[in-house]
Amino acid sequence: MSNKSHIRVNDSYGAHNYHPLPIVISKAKGVWVWDAEGKKYMDMLSAYSALNQGHRNEYIIKKVKEQLNRVTLTSRAFHNDKLPLFLKKVCEFSGFQMALPMNTGAEAVETALKMARKWGYYKKKVEPRKAQIIVAANNFHGRTISIISFSTEDQYRDGFGPFTPGFKVVKYGDSQAIKKAINKNTVAVMIEPIQGEGGIIIPPKGYLREVRKITRENKVLLMLDEIQTGLARTGKNFAYEWENIKPDVLILGKALGGGIMPVSVVLSSRSIMSVFKPGDHGSTFGGNPLGSAAGIAALEYIEKNKLAQRALELGDYFVRELRNIKSEHIKDVRGRGLLIGVELDTKAREYAEKLMKDGLLCKETHDYVLRFAPPLVITKEEIDWALGKIRKFF
């Protein structure tokens, strides 16, 4: 079938809740993909940072195939022999004491919200049904009813009310706004170290350090959503490491599954995680042996191949070269590691489509920003190839 034929069938049978670029990917390897008609493209999106280790990573696929031949699913009604190894690995990799595995990023965020509320009631002794969680404007944490309840994006909320109460939205990057919003019922602050969907927004230097100080002083949990920014994407294993702090709760997903399986996790201390008792929370597929095998391999590959260092060095180079492009349409180039946004004075979709036709895949975010976030296995030569394409249109 041709690209157009696939798209026509998709539009006929699928809900129209996405507006993808008009490309049909049928094969992929590393940083490259091929469409249904055999044309080759460079992937500069990485499935929103779920493919940090590259498409069809051989090491991860080998480990997952080995697990496929043993056992794939048990549910949490029984123990399996792969989950304990995954929990140990992700805790050692991150430096946290305990982990609760789920599947998607949104599930992990919901898990963290439930944990924070229960911690507030049972440990902080907040009055029942009064817990407040502070979040940032322009956030993106997923699309469940509770999560969109504190979104500031009108489209994400349109037609989906009534909304879940208990959230206070403050300006992103303003630590004093958080300080002022805290009251006796505040149990947590949940933010992204860098707002990805929001347009690659990097907060002022010292913001996370100050928020960490404020939350500690007020016995409030600091929960960081590193679903997109974590696992070597920004040049460190976790973006919060740029500020030399550590949150109380860390939320991971996307690249944790190595681009093979949906794997997410909430990490915290024994004291905080102990609020969960059998029956409080769960998932049939969360912690399944196949996903656990993928998660272990995904973390091992990041470590063995020093992907954080690669992202740091290649990201600095990529940003520098993008800033050297002289164009009246480029307002700003910002990024950390290989999470980069190019802000334009015109709609970015037009440029994403032009670059697609020339063999480079990226995507617009918040209308005016082009996001460049290639797999971290990309080489300098491949970045130079991409820069040649980008320069053609600016």
pLDDT per residue over 223-232, tens digit each? 999 999 999 9
What pLDDT is recorded for position 130? Answer: 98
Q: State the Cα angle at 380 between 375 and 383, rounded to 5°.
A: 65
What pLDDT is recorded for position 89? Answer: 98
From the candidates 96, 254, 285, 372, which is the catalytic residue? Answer: 254
What pLDDT is recorded for position 129? Answer: 97
Strand 32-35, strand 25-29: pairing: antiparallel
Tokens of 253: 């997903």
CATH numbers and ranges of domains, the chain: 3-56+306-393 (3.90.1150.10), 58-304 (3.40.640.10)
Q: What average pLDDT is seen over the chain?
A: 98
- The answer to whether 167 touches 135, Cβ cutoff 8 Å, is yes
Does the annotation count 254 as an active-site position?
Answer: yes
Q: What is the DSSP letter of 144?
A: S
Does the annotation count 140 as an active-site position?
Answer: yes
Residue 152 φ then ψ, to 5°: -105, 10
What pLDDT is recorded for position 285? Answer: 98
In this structure, how many other beta carbons lie within 10 angstroms of the beta carbon of residue 62? 11
Distances (CA, A) of 61 to 209, 272, 310: 38, 34, 22
Sign of CA dihedral 102, 104, 107, 109: positive
Does the annotation count 225 as an active-site position?
Answer: yes
- Split at pLDDT 50, 70, 90, the class of 247 is very high
DSSP conformation letters of 331-352: EEEEEETTEEEEEESS-SHHHH
- Split at pLDDT 50, 70, 90, the class of 140 is very high
What pLDDT is recorded for position 295? Answer: 98
Q: Rounded to two decimals, what is the model's pTM?
A: 0.98
- Rounded mean pLDDT of 18-23? 95
From the candidates 35, 43, 225, 248, which is the catalytic residue? Answer: 225
Distances (CA, A) of 93 to 36, 67, 82, 89, 201: 38, 22, 16, 6, 26
Residue 28 φ then ψ, to 5°: -155, 150
From the candidates 93, 140, 318, 372, which is the catalytic residue? Answer: 140
- The answer to whether 115 touches 282, Cβ cutoff 8 Å, is no
Q: Please write the tens of the pLDDT for every residue from 296-345.
A: 999 999 999 999 999 999 999 999 999 999 999 999 999 999 999 999 99
Q: Please write the tens of the pLDDT for every residue from 68-120.
A: 999 999 999 999 999 999 999 999 999 999 999 999 999 999 999 999 999 99
Tokens of 79: 């123990």
